[in-house]
Amino acid sequence: MKHDELVKWIRENTLEVFDEEIHWQPYKRLFGANLKDIYVDLIGTDSENRTVIVEVKTEFGHRDTTRRRDAVHKSVGQVLSYGYAFLSDKIREEQDIGDISEIELKKRSEQLRLFIVSTTISPACEVICKFLQAHGINISHRAINSNVAINSNV
């Protein structure tokens, strides 16, 4: 399944992937700390009004271990960067980002949920997400069966 098809399927099957409804925003552009455009796969709001950012990956199943590990690390880095860009945008609307306290940053971070959704289960991605969760970052990995996604679109 191609990346764009998978993003569309996730958008249309939110309950199946996340066990809850998410209201997806039509735009996917954020501004990074350097004010360059950043495009995310999906961004929306959950039932508790928390922001949900999703990075979609299809290449975790690569046979080459190094390439598979690099893809996992890149995906985690991407979704963390997207979360930072989102928080930076929101903070910049109200104050200088350098003036925000650690307590305020942590409070705002709690209103952010990060997901990596892939077509294969990645034990490495699971371990990295658990490590980051233990340090207060709300990040999760979801693996979906691409055959189910393909068959449900028929």
Give 151's Cβ-side CA count (13 Å radius): 5
| Per-residue exposure over 1-37, b if at least 16 CB sit within 10 Å of its own CB, e if not | eeeeebbebbbeebeebbeeebebeeebebeeeeeee
Predicted confidence at residue 147, as pLDDT, reads 64
pLDDT at 153: 38
What residues does each domain of the chain span?
3-44+58-152
More reliable by pLDDT, 61 or 55: 55
Nearest-angstrom CA–CA distance, 39 and 20 = 24
β-pairing, 51-57 vs 112-118, is: parallel
Could you read off the pLDDT of 128-138 as tens digits, one per residue?
Answer: 999 999 999 99
- Token pair of 52, please? 């949900």
- Please choose, from the candidates 40, 47, 4, the residue with its C-alpha nearest in 3D space to the C-alpha of residue 115: 40
Terminal C-alpha separation, the chain = 13
Q: Does residue 109 or residue 139 have the better pLDDT? A: 139
Considering only residues 27 and 24, tell me which one the structure prediction assigns the higher pLDDT: 24
**What confidence tens digit (pLDDT) does each residue in 72-128 have?**
888 999 999 889 888 887 777 777 667 777 788 788 888 999 999 988 878 888 999
Q: Residue 68's pLDDT is what?
A: 64
Q: Is the pLDDT of residue 144 over 90?
A: no
